[in-house]
Amino acid sequence: MPDMRISEAAELLGVSDDTVRRWVQAQGIPTWKDESNRTVIPSLAVAQLARESRRVAEDAGVRRSARNQFVGIVTAVTVDTVMAQVEMQCGPHRVVSLMSAEAVRELGLEPGSVATAVVKATTVIVETPAARA
């Protein structure tokens, strides 16, 4: 498993570099300097931080099969007579949902609203970045 710089870990986790440094210090995660004298962290430790830091929406007792939940803020809502497009920023991720205009009204969705995108997909494509030089 490759190591990654603190800034890369922060970007993946959707937090600041300083937050990652605090988590590393609080949990005693080992870090070291790479050949460019930058602090690096094991990618496995970043994965563990991601699991520990994820935020799951409050469900009020609702159980669901979908595991992919992204808490974020609504950034745009486009509504016509029947359908609507809702854009959200969930950490570093932009999530776009198409739904009925009625659902937008019932949920009170508007820019600035906090909402949770729940994703249940039959197909998920996974990509990896090209190898770093």
Q: What is the pLDDT of residues 26-66, one digit of tens each?
A: 989 889 998 999 999 988 888 888 777 665 545 556 677 77
pLDDT in tens, 73-124: 899 999 999 999 999 988 788 899 999 999 999 999 999 888 889 888 878 7
What's the pLDDT score for residue 59? 55
- Secondary structure (DSSP) of 23-84: HHHHHT---EE-TTS-EEEEHHHHHHHHHHH------TT---S--EEEEEEEEEEEE-SSEE
Contact 34, 46 (CB under 8 A): no
Of 27, 34, 26, 28, residue with least CA distance to 7:
34
- The pTM for the full model equals 0.59
